[in-house]
Copies of this chain bind each other. A is one copy, B any other.
Amino acid sequence: MTTSRLLTGLSAFPLTPIADDAVDERAFVRIVERLATAGVDSITALGSTGSYAYLDRDERRQAVELAVAAAGEVPVLAGIGHVRTREVLRHADDAQAAGAAALLLAPVTYQALTDDEVLTLFADVSSAVSVPVVVYDNPGTTHVSFSDELHARISRLPHVEAIKIPPVTGGVDVVRARVGSLRSAVAPGVAIGISGDAVAADALVAGCDAWYSVLAGTLPGPCRAIVDATSAGDAQEAQRISGQLDPLWRLFGAHGSYRVVAALAEELGAVAHPCLPRPVMPLDEGGRADVRAALATLREEGLVEQ
């Protein structure tokens, strides 16, 4: 198990708010500063929540530069995915030059890729970078299905030090089995982090090294508390806090975490409305009302300041 703070603990995925079809620099900087203050272990700029797939090279460079400057001592990871290897390598160069401490790479596809092609992509990047690479296994957006064998091959490339796995449902024992089988397949020392906020408490209790968190990018407090409870061995407390967040997890399930967290950030006044890149549209009025209701519940329970 990797002990570096860089690839363990709580990594917060901030939105990259879009206003007038450009990155809203002031809002983004404010978000990142708040995350650093909240004591997250790392900040992943340009995750899926950070709209990386919609941003061009200049916008991505801008976002990583702003994030590194605003994050202070907190390490910044940067998403670099693109359908074309050439662009991935350019993003990797830019992110490293901007001070990213690690790179998050999803094999974004248009034509479906074979396992050998996915491996080739990671090999091309691996041989061109000097910071750790996190394998971003996100079948919901990339439509790439990683087998353990593919993970094993990629994990043996230089600089590949972590894997961000998709949600595993079914409780602690199921996650423990899943992580155990993946750990036995991949290179020793490769950190395994969970995505899918609703299952994160279970996954941390089950031994995942990191939580790559959508919600922590907007509401770091309760996420920090979940990770701290797990670190202190208090599984029950971690799961209790996660249970308090159920109204949000249900909305994530219904509308996708991306649109819900954008609406939440809008309600909190952290970003302007709308803040997602077209053609992605904000939640409709019914969805926004649900987000407001969930937020009211969280405020009543003291998870969000009044």
Contacts and interface: CB of A to CB of B under 8 A. Distances in A.
Interface of A: 21, 48, 53-54, 56, 83-87, 107-108, 110-114, 116-118, 120-121, 124, 140-141, 143, 256, 258, 277-281
A278 to B, nearest CB: 4
Assembly stoichiometry (copies):
2
A279 B107 contact: yes
B277 A86 contact: yes
A88 to B, nearest CB: 8
Contacts of A143: 143
29 contacts: A21-B86, A48-B111, A54-B83, A54-B110, A56-B87, A84-B277, A84-B278, A84-B279, A85-B277, A85-B278, A85-B279, A86-B278, A108-B110, A110-B141, A111-B141, A111-B256, A112-B140, A112-B141, A112-B256, A113-B279, A113-B280, A114-B281, A117-B280, A117-B281, A120-B278, A120-B279, A120-B281, A121-B279, A124-B279
A120 B284 CA distance: 14
Contacts of A277: 84-86
A138 to B, nearest CB: 10
Contacts of A54: 83-84, 110
A124 B278 contact: yes
